[in-house]
């Protein structure tokens, strides 16, 4: 690990992806209001949240007189028909989301922000994802696995739901929640030496 940051996320997937590119980190969770603003476009929503999460964490480090290493934050949302689909409230909500996306394309937007005392930089990854047709039996079995909980759009591409993904156009790691290319480009701006 040649470079160390704070990760403003408890997501194990984001941690794994950072590890794959040789970035060491300590988890520094952020606490921001994730409500969507009136008439806010999905792309602007994730970019705003990523930036707010990173900035809040830097401010906390300054207030607590801790070393201010770069802070990386990310936010992911699923969008279909121009509407943001967040994490499911319960199993019935997850089933409704999956039925709506069945046999259709949707977009996964993930924004990444890196901040320090002096600046915040943000990048956006948008990926088109096509789900196969899902029967009620498919959906019920997937929900019974517990995997849809706490995932934007009620699925995780890296898990069982990978069998539902017919095609993607864009970043696989972006759909997972941390687009590796965009993340590496931002971290290089803060001094990370990456291939």
Active-site annotation holder among 33, 65, 75, 138: 75
Cβ burial of 31 (10 Å; 0-12, 13-18, 19+) is exposed
CB 17 within 8 A of CB 183: yes
Is 75 a residue of the active site?
yes
User: Ramachandran region of residue 22, left (φ > 0), alpha (ψ -120 to 50) or beta?
Assistant: left
Instruction: Kindly state the helix (H) or strand (E) to which residue 142 belongs, with its residue range.
Output: helix 136-144
Residue 91 Cα to chain centre, angstroms: 21
CB 50 within 8 A of CB 124: no
CB 26 within 8 A of CB 44: no
CA distance 20 to 183: 12
Active-site amino acid positions: 75
């Amino acid at each position: 690990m040649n470079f160390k940051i704070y990760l403003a996320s408890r997501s194990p997937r984001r941690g794994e992806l950072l590890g794959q590119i040789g970035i060491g980190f300590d988890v520094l969770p952020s606490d921001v209001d994730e409500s969507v603003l009136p008439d806010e476009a999905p792309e602007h929503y994730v970019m705003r949240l990523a930036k707010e999460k990173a900035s809040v964490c830097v401010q906390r480090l300054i207030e607590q007189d801790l070393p201010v290493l770069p802070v990386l934050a990310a936010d992911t949302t699923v969008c279909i028909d121009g509407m943001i689909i967040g994490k499911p409230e319960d199993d019935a909500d997850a089933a409704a989301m999956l039925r709506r996306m069945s046999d259709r394309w949707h977009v996964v937007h993930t924004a990444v922000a890196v901040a320090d005392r002096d600046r915040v930089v943000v990048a956006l990854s948008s990926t088109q994802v096509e789900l196969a047709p899902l029967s009620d039996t498919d959906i019920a079995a997937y929900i019974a696995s517990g995997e849809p909980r706490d995932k934007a759009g009620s699925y995780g591409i890296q898990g069982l739901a990978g069998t539902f993904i017919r095609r993607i156009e864009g970043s696989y790691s972006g759909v997972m929640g941390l687009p590796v290319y965009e993340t590496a480009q931002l971290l290089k701006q803060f001094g990370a030496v990456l291939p």
